[in-house]
Amino acid sequence: MRLLFAAVLLCTTSPLAAQIVTPDRPVTDPKSLTSPVNPEARTVPLEDIGNSRSVGSTTWSADGKHVYLSTNLTGRYNIWRTEADGSWPLQMTQSDDAQGGLAASRDGKWLYYTQDNGGDEYYDIYRVPTGGGAVERVTNTPDISERWLVPGPSNGMMALSVKKKSEAQSNIAVMDTQGNVKTLTGETDPQFEWSPRLWADDGKTLYANRDKIDSTSTEIWRIDVGSGKSTPVLAKANTIYRVQDLSADGQWLAVTTDAEIGRPRAGLYNLATKKWKWLKAIPWDQQAVRFTLDGKSLIVESSNDLRTTLLRYDLATGTETPMNLPAGLNFTTGNDTRSPDGRSLLVVHMGANVAGELNRYDLADNSVRPLTQLSVASLRPEVLAKSEMVTYKSFDGTLISALVTMPANLKRDGSNPAIVLPHGGPTGKTEDYFDDIAAALASRGYIIIAPNFRGSTGYGKAFQTANYDDLGGGDLRDTVAAKTFLVESGYVDPKRVGIFGGSYGGFMTLMAVGKTPDEFAAGVQWFGIINWRTMYRDMDEVLKAYLRSLMGTPEENPAGYDRASPLTYIQNAKAPLLTIQGENDIRVPRGQAQEVNDILKAKGNIVETVYYPAEGHGFRKKENQLDSLRRTVEWFDKYLKAK
């Protein structure tokens, strides 16, 4: 999850006033929100939600007989193996540290994976025999992070991305079976990071993406593995060209690009003729995934605002056929979602009331076979609150999409509590995924609204860049407008609304309680930013590069740093505030939480701060996931529920 994003900015204090154009959609009448009657609705035990397992990284075995996945069945994200037709998983590795980034060698001998140290996000590469056995540490480089493994076609070679701790930029490298790493690219600009995507020409060529760190552009490059010579294939300023796949005949690249229409769409680029084939344009984001191995179709992920589906694009006829998946959030998973025989895809489906499970999608008959059943029995969809997509107008008329999770059996009497959930990023996006915090709160009678405020992805570049040099300005007003929308529904008591978020959502929480102290009655923030100056001093180099592109250095733009820091407004805070922080967080260092705690305690506010050792930007250990969930719910129950 990216924390910062943007281009070099002018130091300006002018608020945004003009409506930002986004995809046209009807405005929702708040009165149309309805709490359903559901006799099966229950308060779900926090232990059940906190101990529900989830799927991380996945990959097929080389022969297609097994699927490997990272999951926290034991309370730690370790690696398990299941039969390709579904079975109780068999544990492959054990570690207190989270394991992911799975990649199976083409010869079928090894499963490679990445693991950091207590959430510090500096990854080394490990491997375990595919039949089970002793784990081998392949790299041991505490000052270099190695990740994004892509198996080569032969000789056990792996492509990967490498980043030095002393630098912001990353580069492409290859690794042999002995763990010898050879760096191919020589990026010197701290604004760019490279990631490998696919091999070609029997292992002689790599295709890679070169991303600008502010998310405004991506370039496609071809790299000669032998010499390291890099050649741009598609590159243009302020434009995204992201390679996803190469057709079997080597003629067509599957590309996701925002060229021409200003938002991501799927297209096919002919390497010889330099001509394009386009799918039908839609109002929302779309991305290419992979060609089917029979060479007949392109798999595409297509958005409908807060939900996504998958479709097949027939290369011969141009016909687009939706795949047989339920409404919600549907996406492929793994560095190659396709089974080695080309018949199946690894697909995850989830929704606000559907915990994510790994599925095998059969391309021949469009059937879906569950590969995991990780959820606790009490988390049945019939019990949990469903989601609803809504649209409201913000202060300047800009349309804001949001996801509302409405508990069952509420009275429309203006007495109910609610929580506003700003997402992280802010170049992220709320989608219809399963959120354990939202599910726990909704099952306890809290109405939840999660807005996609300006700065979010999915609504065009103008919207995505609308909060540049205005962090905590227009985006905060969009977030406060989400509260107003709920109050106007007739269900919500305006004096019983809280705010919760992590990362940039934590920053928004701190901004909200300081800058709009009468709007929210309680706040919970996880690893949020209080002071951009100390953030710049203490953060990892890649985040410093983000922040420099956002608003320069503190010396270049002191007024901008002060204006965007909750520190400037926190003396006005009234709401009780809970802060939760990982000790090893390199994105938002521990000192940010300490500053919040010290300031609010000194002024006599109700404040509590919790630190988790050996955790980074997000909590991976089950006991900390459960503890943070319990503390968050209990905090809101204490300060928002009627006495």
Question: What is the SS3 assignment for 322-391?
Answer: ECCCCCCEEEECCCCCECCCCCEEEEEEEECCEEEEEEEEECCCCCEEECCCCCCCCCCCCCCCCEEEEE
Q: Is residue 186 part of a domain?
A: no
A 10 A CB-CB count for 143 gives 9
- 270 CB-near residues (< 8 Å, 6+ apart): 251, 252, 276, 277
Q: Is residue 385 part of a domain?
A: no
Q: Is residue 217 part of a domain?
A: no
Q: What is the pLDDT of residue 3?
A: 34
Q: What is the pLDDT of residue 123?
A: 97
Query: Contact, 13 vs 563, CB < 8 A?
Result: yes
Q: Is residue 428 part of a domain?
A: yes
**Separation between Cα atoms, residue 291 and residue 312, nearest integer Å:** 9
DSSP secondary structure letter of residue 618? B
Q: Is residue 270 part of a domain?
A: no
Query: Contact, 30 vs 486, CB < 8 A?
Result: yes
| CA atoms within 13 Å, Cβ hemisphere of 161 | 22
Query: Contact, 438 vs 421, CB < 8 A?
Result: yes
Distance of CA 482 to the CA centre of its chain: 22
- 260 CB-near residues (< 8 Å, 6+ apart): none
Q: What is the pLDDT of residue 642?
A: 67
Query: Contact, 564 vs 600, CB < 8 A?
Result: no
Compute, in degrees rounded to 10, the torsion defined by CA atoms 149, 153, 154, 156.
10
Q: Is residue 122 part of a domain?
A: no
- Name the strand (E) or helix (H) holding 493: strand 492-502
| Structural domain of 490 | 404-641
Q: Is residue 472 part of a domain?
A: yes
Residue recorded with tokens 């000194």: 602
H-state helical runs in 418-531: 436-442, 461-464, 474-487, 504-515
pLDDT tens-digit series, residues 578-617: 999 999 999 999 999 999 999 999 999 999 999 999 999 9
Q: Bridge partners of 600?
A: none
Distance of CA 38 to the CA centre of its chain: 32
Q: Which two tokens stand for residue 65?
A: 């007989």
Q: What is the pLDDT of residue 50?
A: 85
3-state DSSP call for residue 620?
coil
Q: What is the pLDDT of residue 20?
A: 96
Q: What is the pLDDT of residue 179?
A: 94
**Judging by beta carbons within 10 Å of its beta carbon (0-12, 13-18, 19+), is residue 361 exposed, middle or buried?**
buried
Q: Which residues of the chain have pLDDT under 50?
A: 1-16
Q: What is the pLDDT of residue 199?
A: 97
Q: Count how many domains the chain has.
A: 1
CATH assignment of the domain containing 417: 3.40.50.1820
Angle at 583 between CA 73 and CA 147, to 5 degrees: 60
pLDDT tens-digit series, residues 352-393: 998 889 999 999 999 999 999 888 888 889 999 999 999 999
Report the predicted TM-score, pTM, of the whole model to 2 decimal places.
0.93
Q: Is residue 11 part of a domain?
A: no
Q: What is the pLDDT of residue 162?
A: 98
- 371 CB-near residues (< 8 Å, 6+ apart): 67, 82, 84, 86, 346, 357, 358, 359, 360
R_g over Cα of the chain: 24
Nearest to 16 by CA among 379, 302, 397: 397
Q: What is the pLDDT of residue 643?
A: 57
How many residues are recorded in the chain? Answer: 643
Query: Contact, 450 vs 438, CB < 8 A?
Result: yes
